[in-house]
Structure 1
Amino acid sequence: MITAERVREALKEVEDPELNMGILDLGLVYDVACEGPHGQEVTVTMTLTSPMCPVGPMFKQAVQSKVESIDGVKSANVEITFNPPWDPKTMASDDVKLALGIW
């Protein structure tokens, strides 16, 4: 059975290529949905640090590849949204805020 927690655990290994920080710690992943009889159809809803992120397509592919690498996943879809816009002050972990000097 594929669960959102299992997907999030795998996504801990994915880093933002510009900031070199984990996408979960940055607060870039908004939702993980696992559908189908055993949760094999996974949709990750996430954002980027900027709508003009130059590595957006590559970043999206990296997330999709990571989800597809989870044993049992049949399909992985990554949806990029900018609603709400990413705000590190409210979405990032305390460690990321400290590293970015947001205190």
Structure 2
Amino acid sequence: MSVPSAKVPGVEYHYIITLQWSEGDEHRITLTSSWEGVYTLYVPGTTRQEAYLALVERTRKHFNVPEGGDSCTLFFALEPMALAGPRLEPAGALEAGP
């Protein structure tokens, strides 16, 4: 009798990334855009570099950076979603009455 495999819970990280790239032939323009979101890792042992490379690729696709075009990362942050310490109630939550 086989036991159903349990889904591996993912670990969530918040990321912010800013890329800069150029577009156009005759009249080149330089574009700079930032993007943020949640990146969930399901594979234990994933390195920060692997996450970074995946997020650069995801961001390039999001902003339609031309294939084969160069982009430069101006800023990158990857932090755990969960903040350390006790979970705090939203302001006013303890004051609400019946």
TM-score range for the pair, normalised by the shorter chain length: 0.3 to 0.5
Give the alignment's TM-score, normalised by structure 2: 0.34
Larger radius of gyration: 2
Give the alignment's TM-score, normalised by structure 1: 0.33
Higher helix share: 1
